[in-house]
A and B are shown apart, each in its own frame.
Chain A
Amino acid sequence: MSKPVNDVARLEMRDIRKAFGPQIALDGVSLKVQAGEVHALVGENGAGKSTLMKILSGAYQPDSGTMFVDGQPYAPTNPADGRQRGVGMIYQELSIAPHLSVAENIWLGIEPQNGGLLDRAKMRAEAQSTLAGLGHGDIEVDSPAGQLSVSQQQIVEIARALSMGCKIIVFDEPTSSLAQADVQRLFDLIDQLARRGLAIIYISHFLEEVRRLSSRLTVLRDGQSIACHVTASITDDAIVAEMVGREVKDLYPRSQRRLGEILLEANIPGRGTLTLRRGEVVGLCGLVGAGRTEFLRAVFGLEENTSQKITIAGHSHLAEPRSNWLQRMGLVSENRKEEGLALELSISDNVCLPALKKIAKLGFVSPSTCDAHTAEWINKFGIRCQSPQQAIGRLSGGNQQKAAIARLLEADCDILLLDEPTRGIDIAAKAKIYEIIDQLVADPIRPRAVLMVSSYLPELLGVCDRIAAVRRGQVGEATPVAQTNSEKLMRAATGV
């Protein structure tokens, strides 16, 4: 590359330390990012990535350590200060004001004024040109930002960061809510931003994204920066080993599985049919918005207008969540925070909620019985927590997800509907969930059946026995995993 050699890094963080009370979040992290570089930050949940980024943005102040932007000391007192000094953040959860227009969102907090009045013409014109510069001139600057798609809203956020003159942009799991095609466009855009000389920090759990985008990567573990590598010269296995501090041998365990009777027969007009047998995992793949989640929710009776016919264990019935739990079918929502869990309530409350009537005697539930039941799952699944009474919102994503699955088992479910069960959780927790799924379907005494939706093909191929592609709301034929591969599934999903 013919880039001028510049020995002053755009961003340097040196030996950053931060503790919250007795808990040490960062224990000496150093990070160096050059202008024009996409630098990936990888590590398990809890490794300190978000704390580090909050310090970079100015939301937290470090206990010790120093930061430099272009060689100048950088010590933001709050996020607004950080943004003004050139550090912009694009979070997983987007932060647009849905009722304001695109232009107003881009200029939020730095509105140009003319004699005390908003300079609307300038706002519109510059918003327009910024968006066009990002290759998204098609976004209408006057329309309410809430009407845009998620990917367009993300573009608005990027435009906002650029309008503020940010030199460093942090992307925190930006693809988790995007469809495949939008992911590609985002990657192209990030490349383009890097070519303009911005320093990009990219945080992701997906190593293929890290590989596709970054030139170098830094591994965090237990609040320390373990190593910095040139991305091209390190294997995935080595990265994972550094992230978890040990080798993950078999990510997708597969015990001997024996097929049993048909547990679920779903025939949903306009959406297709599917059967599920005891002792198997069936996967639904497809693009985001193709109707995978809708199919799963229709099976569970959570979609409105339910004229579907569902047969569970030979009995046909009208789908409705309440009766489904009684039929031993349970669903883990893809949306942990909004639907899946009641975050302020305890682990015990969350795990036992559908099973309360079973646990209760004459309508009375004993909290200590619930706690005892929950404690069993905490042990079995290795849920890291203080006690069953701890608020579930305080757990890490992976531990929350384990509890969400435990809920189905506490309710004695035979049919487990899992919607994106490993979204946004770290590798060790993923491995644990794959192991749990395998043990459930291969249980020698009472094998369960799992129907699972995932956007991540390697995971489906690793876990499932059969996989069906969903396209335009239609569920296709479920093919045995041995007879398919990611390419075939992608074709079936996109219809090429």
Chain B
Amino acid sequence: MAKALNAVGPLLALILIWGSFYIFGDKHIGDGDGIESIVQQTVVIGIAAIGMTFIIISAGIDLSIGSAIALCSVIGAKLAMSGSSPAVVAITTLLTGAIIGLLIGLLVVRAKLIPFITTLGTLLILRGIAHGLSNSQPINAQDVNWLRFWLNSLPENMRWLVIPPGGWLMIILAALAAGVLRFTVFGRHVFAVGSNEQTARLCGVAVDRIKLYVYMIGGAFAALSGLMLVSYQGQGDPTGAKGYELDIIAAVVIGGASLSGGVGSVFGSLIGALIINVIRTGCTLNGIEESTTSIITGTIIVAAVAIDRLRRKAA
């Protein structure tokens, strides 16, 4: 019952926010185009948020995820432009992401560095590598149709999909990830490590290995998110995804996760990502200025977490 409520809270907030924009503002936010545009923007954040959910549940954090997305977008775009097959592009990019995660994980587990500081460092390093690989120029991938397919506007004959295929990919991956977290030994161990690392160690959980896996999963999802960015923007951009780490972390936290670990839900995180983008889109549609949008988004993030805190206290 309490668990059901945890998932319902953010969903209610989403409906409330979306509904308010619809009732009081531009009706486009509720029509096919509006929804499509919101989904297009949400997929990049949302897919990365799935990986981040693993990391945050394990009581970790990855501040460099925005840089990892940008780096992977550059790598993906380069490979795609060089004519590599879709499978090669996807596998290489995802592997790159997983290796980035592995390195972060090793720094956290072996060198015993605090994730916050470690990933503050990798935030700069990865961004630097992205610039180096691309000579600081966006890599045009407008014409890579198989990649563009995922987040392009739906052509007339595919309208039955309602949202772009990337949106469906995000939903399927979220369902898989939620299943892994809830129904596998690995998933339960992630929760145990995040809730109380000492208890997990006492109970024979291979704590270090779990952490490594978690950062690798985070990295792989960041890589996929990078490919989606290429799909959406038609280019691999070394300056792209700047500040996404904050949107992604905010999405996970709005979705009910606790930064001290042990709590979190993949679907909550997706709803969190949707909430952020509904606010952005809603503000744009209604001609609200960028500065005001920022303030509104920030207020809603703080309010969401504060309400969540109160709710937990009452429970």
Contacts and interface: CB of A to CB of B under 8 A. Distances in A.
A353 interface: yes
Interface in B169-188: 182-186, 188
Given A321-B203, A340-B202, A343-B196, A365 B188 contact: yes
A353 B192 contact: yes
Chain A interface category by residue count: 20 to 34
Interface stretch (A45-53, A260-268, A354-362, A431-439): A354-362
A331 interface: yes
Contacts of B215: none
B244 to A, nearest CB: 29
B199 A339 contact: yes
Interface in A331-374: 331, 333, 338-345, 349-350, 352-354, 356-357, 360, 363-367
Interface string B196-207: 101111111110
B196 A342 contact: yes
A360 B195 contact: no
A492 interface: no
Contacts of A323: 204
Contact of A342 (B182, B184, B192, B206): B192
B192 to A, nearest CB: 6
B302 to A, nearest CB: 22
B191 interface: yes
A324 B202 CA distance: 10
B203 A363 contact: no
B262 A344 contact: yes
Contacts of B183: 364-367
B184 A365 contact: yes
Main secondary structure of the interface of A (DSSP, over half): helix
Greatest chain A CB density within 10 A among B198, B202, B205, B258 is at: B202
A232 B262 CA distance: 50
Contacts of B206: 322
Nearest to B188: A356
B263 interface: yes
Contacts of A341: 196, 199
Nearest to B263: A344
B189 interface: yes
Contact of A363 (B186, B196, B201): B186
A277 interface: no
Contact of A354 (B3, B191, B204, B263): B204
A325 B196 contact: no
B204 A324 contact: yes
A366 B188 CA distance: 11
A345 B188 CA distance: 10
B263 A353 contact: no
B297 to A, nearest CB: 28
Contact of A407 (B186, B203, B262): B203
A363 B258 CA distance: 26
Contacts of A407: 203
A344 B198 contact: no
Contacts of A8: none
Contacts of A324: 204
A75 interface: no
Contact of A353 (B182, B199, B258): B199
Interface in B254-269: 258, 262-263
A228 interface: no
A392 to B, nearest CB: 10
Contacts of A357: 185
A233 B188 CA distance: 54
A131 B262 CA distance: 42
Contacts of B199: 333, 339-342, 350, 353
Contact of B192 (A349, A363, A389): A349
B213 to A, nearest CB: 13
A251 interface: no
B71 to A, nearest CB: 32
Nearest to A338: B198
A341 B198 CA distance: 9
A345 B202 contact: no
B262 A345 contact: yes
Nearest to B182: A367
B185 A356 contact: yes
B201 A321 contact: yes
Interface string A375-394: 00000000000000100000
B195 to A, nearest CB: 4
A343 B199 CA distance: 10
Nearest to A360: B185
A339 B184 contact: no
A353 B184 contact: no
A150 interface: no
Contacts of B184: 360, 363-365
Nearest to B201: A321
A150 to B, nearest CB: 19
B188 A302 contact: no
Interface string B146-169: 000000000000000000000000
Contacts of A363: 184-186
B196 A354 contact: no
Contacts of A366: 183
8 contacts: A339-B199, A343-B195, A345-B192, A353-B188, A354-B203, A357-B185, A364-B185, A365-B188
> Shortest 6 CB-CB distances between A and B: which pairs?
A342-B195, A342-B196, A339-B198, A325-B204, A322-B204, A354-B203
Given A344-B195, A344-B262, 7 more contacts: A322-B206, A325-B204, A342-B191, A345-B195, A349-B192, A363-B184, A407-B203
